[in-house]
A and B are shown apart, each in its own frame.
Chain A
């Protein structure tokens, strides 16, 4: 039995080594480690001036950030891959936040479908026919904003990024939109 225990222990150690060892989750940190941002610099972190972009939607219309911002208080991007959490976030956003901010443009960014037709099909099958969905065919926006599944980005009318993080429960998004200049 002791030999068997030894073998098992060795296997566990080996697996731990393969998996990168102890992770940060064992001792979570609450320290704020966000990097400092130089105000006015161009970038996609909060406080930076967002780069402009041009992207097609699922109806093959072209959207340029700077153009959208001319007539809106802000642009909100939500990065979706049509998954359960994405659906939960977008449903919540659609029902509880979007109606309260009529002068803010909300866009879903589909970074997984890879083509306008596939993205349109996913949009319809997931019940978002009335939403405007950007087709991020080459993951340009996804990489530009260093996004992930569920990331929400808020860019105010002056082009400043006001939020760039996970949607979570939507409270941060609402606070951000309420505080728009």
Chain B
């Protein structure tokens, strides 16, 4: 029997998943939105586990709607990340998620798993020295660390267009996407502020199958995507200079309507607002970072459109090679 479930519920994992819990700001140890390894580090390994719970959705008008009674929708993702320094200002990284879906939706129940969409990143650091300061003594001390990044999402996950019998199997969106990212990160101890802006463009693709059924071929392209995240953090120094960093972030995500054979597909646009709080522990040398993040979307009208409301708890650990 084929159980088909909402793509949108699963999109939460595959298109909105928070970046892997990267280790640090340019100084190491740092902020919630940093996607990069610290300056002067040679490489980094990052492992994190997301637990995402679904709690209703916003319809296309932004009205909040609850899931049917008795629903319990969850997705768990194990993210493996590896970053490597190519040159003094260049670094690259790869993140590969593995996804478990555990769902009770009205009268349906399902537990499935599979590889998620892989992400390849290339980052240019527009600075040479550490930009974290203890005190502002001259105007240059206010200059933030600026990163320019390119990310390619590779559809290694299981999408509705794969040979799947069961939509509960879906772990990816099925499209390549290229993102341009800019990250500004400034630490004046003990405070940290970072701003992340990302613009993504999906590549158009052919579709000749939907949920395992061959259909008349058509071309499809998802809409352009904008993400902006602002993070504000405070670092508390423990004994022996280990640190605890507390961060609060606000994130806005929007995806325009896509196209089908060049026509606008009004059902595909979406929008999501969320807030996140992070606690990160870092050793004195900033080589080890352990992070916990809670990302929350408000189950209330006006916080999103055409998308499920979710809470995501992420636990991660990373290690930097010097």
How many Å from the CB of A77 to the closest CB on chain B?
A: 14
Stretch at the interface among A17-25, A51-59, A66-74, A97-105: A17-25
Report the Cα distance A84→B114, complex, angstroms.
23
Report the Cα distance A20→B82, complex, angstroms.
22
Q: Is residue B280 within 8 Å, beta carbon to beta carbon, of the partner chain?
A: no
Cβ A84 vs Cβ B4 within 8 A: no
- Which residues of A lie under 8 Å from residue B94 when comparing CB positions? 12
Interface residues of B in 88-121 (CB under 8 A from A): 94, 96, 98, 105-108, 113-115
Q: Is residue B301 within 8 Å, beta carbon to beta carbon, of the partner chain?
A: no
**CB within 8 Å: A-B pair count:** 198
Q: Is residue A156 within 8 Å, beta carbon to beta carbon, of the partner chain?
A: no
How many Å from the CB of A33 to the closest CB on chain B?
A: 4
Cβ A83 vs Cβ B57 within 8 A: yes
Q: Is residue B217 within 8 Å, beta carbon to beta carbon, of the partner chain?
A: yes
How many Å from the CB of B253 to the closest CB on chain A?
A: 14
Q: Is residue A142 within 8 Å, beta carbon to beta carbon, of the partner chain?
A: yes
- Which residues of A lie under 8 Å from residue B8 when comparing CB positions? 83-85
Picked from A22, A84, A149, A169, the residue with its CB within 8 Å of the CB of B167 is: A149
Closest A residue to B257 using CB positions: A169
Q: Is residue B136 within 8 Å, beta carbon to beta carbon, of the partner chain?
A: no
Cβ B2 vs Cβ A143 within 8 A: yes
Report the Cα distance A24→B163, complex, angstroms.
8
Known A-B contacts A81-B6, A143-B2; the reply to A118 vs B69 at CB < 8 A is: yes
Picked from B82, B155, B270, B319, the residue with its CB within 8 Å of the CB of A25 is: B155
Picked from A8, A16, A121, A149, the residue with its CB within 8 Å of the CB of B4 is: A149
Cβ B214 vs Cβ A171 within 8 A: no
Q: Is residue B284 within 8 Å, beta carbon to beta carbon, of the partner chain?
A: no
Most buried by B among A23, A125, A151: A23
Report the Cα distance A25→B222, complex, angstroms.
14
Report the Cα distance A142→B266, complex, angstroms.
25
Cβ B155 vs Cβ A26 within 8 A: yes
Picked from B105, B114, B265, B306, the residue with its CB within 8 Å of the CB of A168 is: B265
Cβ B307 vs Cβ A148 within 8 A: no
Cβ B215 vs Cβ A112 within 8 A: no
Q: Is residue B223 within 8 Å, beta carbon to beta carbon, of the partner chain?
A: no
Cβ A149 vs Cβ B5 within 8 A: yes
Q: Which 10 A-B pairs have the closest CB atoms?
A: A114-B107, A19-B115, A30-B206, A83-B6, A148-B4, A25-B155, A88-B267, A148-B211, A112-B106, A84-B8
